[in-house]
Chains A and B, each alone.
Chain A
């Protein structure tokens, strides 16, 4: 299914996030990630929603349902060709240094903490696909815990 990112700017009012998540539940949209942060303008938040949907009409519906909220200032879809989609992950791995360092040539990551010779906390940022690939290459069995931010996106 096609991956989509929706970018919405909304007033920083209590309950707005609840409204959006309620809409997602009520209309049974299948959302992958939802991230919110401050925007450049005071009092306005920036939200990135990603989902998988092939049906253009359904995506259009989501946009117009979001637009209907009085607190939502603007909504649009960002496609993968014309925008950057990024996320960050913090991963607690159980692996010896050698194994970890073997990924240096393919991935950029930062070691935040060596808990012991075997346990490290690392940070990686990049496209969702890149983080997925890193996790796969590293091997699920080496991962103790992983925290991902969800996608945030910006138009090129």
Chain B
């Protein structure tokens, strides 16, 4: 057997069915072998970044299914590998398990600046969970198994295998055998604690029982440990409202009476006010990112914090917890829910406070959504998302890009199904949506998938329309076109006196782009057309693109300015507007 055969055998042993990638000199042998085998479904992206996001999409969406998969992407050395960087860094920030395989120049010429050589390990090390360069063919299988173990155990993350071309081709003895069943990773330093310790749990229960103004935080860890149902049970049992991080959204139905919606920079007034006034924060699987906390010195000063988190290095990193529970979220919630000491309380005044906060913006938002257009008659993103939510019953899979439309999709889509919201959170990578949606659709083919984009981000990876065309992927593509890099424009409106440097953007005729790829297209400019267009997309049995002409001056509020505290929350759009947009 050869290195490439061993690599593919190990991938197959790990349950890999699909490989995303792009070929080139240093990975050709593996591709050739893959073709001969015919075992894997190969999906060729139009840019390696696309392959990385497709792999991510597959991992993200299959997490909560009966058949969780680790997305695998493959690229050649040098430029091919470097094009994976953004997708890998993004997976690292969002704790998405993924394995990237890159071809490297032959061992004989490594470190000579050979053609298409780059120091892949050096570049990847700070942006992934682990890197490997097997130098001997006998290491390959062990390495692959270890890589999958590392990628999926504890906090998920990407792992990179950089395999020199000659190692791919080296022949080993015919009867070379790797005992997959007996495989144990040789990582003495890699331990994690899935089970919560008794003592902190007891303290947590005491704090919960005692508290008058508690808030539950639902982070990504709830989704990746599949604990949404348990979280809901827990919240109902103790009668405590739940605020979601961007990635915690869709862990439980967003319209649940205990839901406060999203927290943080663009979170709801009720979530942020509740956090500000809370005496206890019970956080599950989240890392107190600065977009969540705002200014740390002013963050939840009077609250005790219970922090449940699988990664011990996240505990105490940004916020010092009163009680730290280093364990798997699912297991912790499982124990908590059945703890007879845990008690519910009515906390009427607290509920009253939250209800009041909820009303601060509610009327304005309802009015805006119903009006549906801005001053110059162009559509509002929030109305589009609201209609999408209504027409799909909040039951579809939403893959958003990065920008205002992302925050609108986070705030105004009424998530009903577990793990139905996908976005680049930690890294905030524009261009992720289209390729990620391809992976999401592959993971859950029975469900309808919407890729929601801004005009800016869409053009960062719109070449993946080619992949959609080739694969016949059934994706509902939405472009919310406001002619600007909207989110940056919003900051310019609020903090740069309305000087729009580098944000106006000319777009191609998206109708012609769509038709070049054989994808049906509708342009929507009128309020009354929104619903029929969405309905048409729902009814159409394949990829379709909808472009909505949106109001560039729409802002997503509330907003806590970067580095500000909750008291700095902006809830009203500023009057002063420059004449020239």
Q: Do A and B bind each other?
A: yes
B562 CB → nearest A CB, Å: 20
Chain A residues lying within 8 Å of B126, measured Cβ to Cβ, are 22, 26
User: Once the chains bind, are A15 and B125 in contact (CB under 8 Å)?
Assistant: yes
CB of A33 within 8 Å of the partner chain: no
A118 CB → nearest B CB, Å: 44
Q: Mark A18-40, 1 if CB is under 8 A from B, else 0.
A: 11001000100000000000000
Complex Cα spacing A53 to B488, Å: 38
What is the size, in residues, of chain A's interface with B at 8 Å between Cβ atoms?
Answer: 20
User: Once the chains bind, are B125 and A11 in contact (CB under 8 Å)?
Assistant: no
Interface residues of A in 50-72 (CB under 8 A from B): 57, 60-61, 64-65, 67-72
A34 CB → nearest B CB, Å: 17
Complex Cα spacing A71 to B130, Å: 10
Chain B residues lying within 8 Å of A61, measured Cβ to Cβ, are 313, 316-317
Chain B residues lying within 8 Å of A72, measured Cβ to Cβ, are 189
User: Once the chains bind, are A65 and B189 in contact (CB under 8 Å)?
Assistant: no
User: Once the chains bind, are B189 and A73 in contact (CB under 8 Å)?
Assistant: yes
Interface residues of B in 101-137 (CB under 8 A from A): 121-122, 125-126, 130-131
B362 CB → nearest A CB, Å: 40
Interface residues of A in 1-24 (CB under 8 A from B): 10-11, 15, 18-19, 22
Complex Cα spacing A98 to B58, Å: 77
User: Once the chains bind, are A11 and B189 in contact (CB under 8 Å)?
Assistant: yes
User: Given A26-B126, A70-B130, A70-B150, A11 and B312 touching (CB < 8 A)?
Assistant: no
**Which of A60, A64, A70, A71 is the most central at the interface, judged by chain B CB atoms within 10 Å of its CB?**
A70
- Range for the number of chain B residues in contact with chain A: 10 to 19
Q: Mark B307-335, 1 if CB is under 8 A from A, else 0.
A: 00001110111001000000000000000
CB of A83 within 8 Å of the partner chain: no
Complex Cα spacing A11 to B311, Å: 21
CB of A108 within 8 Å of the partner chain: no
Q: Mark B172-196, 1 if CB is under 8 A from A, else 0.
A: 0000000000000001111000000
CB of A80 within 8 Å of the partner chain: no
User: Once the chains bind, are B189 and A64 in contact (CB under 8 Å)?
Assistant: no
User: Once the chains bind, are A70 and B189 in contact (CB under 8 Å)?
Assistant: yes
B324 CB → nearest A CB, Å: 11
Complex Cα spacing A22 to B190, Å: 19
Question: Could you pull out 9 A-B pairs where Cβ atoms are within 8 angstroms?
Answer: A15-B131, A26-B126, A57-B320, A61-B313, A64-B313, A67-B313, A68-B312, A71-B187, A71-B189
A positions within 8 Å CB-CB of B: 10-11, 15, 18-19, 22, 26, 57, 60-61, 64-65, 67-74
| Other A-B pairs beyond A61-B316, A70-B130, 17, CB < 8 Å | A15-B121, A18-B125, A22-B126, A26-B126, A60-B316, A64-B312, A64-B316, A65-B313, A67-B189, A67-B312, A67-B313, A68-B311, A68-B313, A70-B150, A71-B187, A73-B188, A74-B189
Closest A-B pairs by Cβ, 10 of them: A64-B313, A70-B190, A72-B189, A73-B189, A70-B187, A68-B313, A73-B188, A65-B313, A64-B312, A70-B189
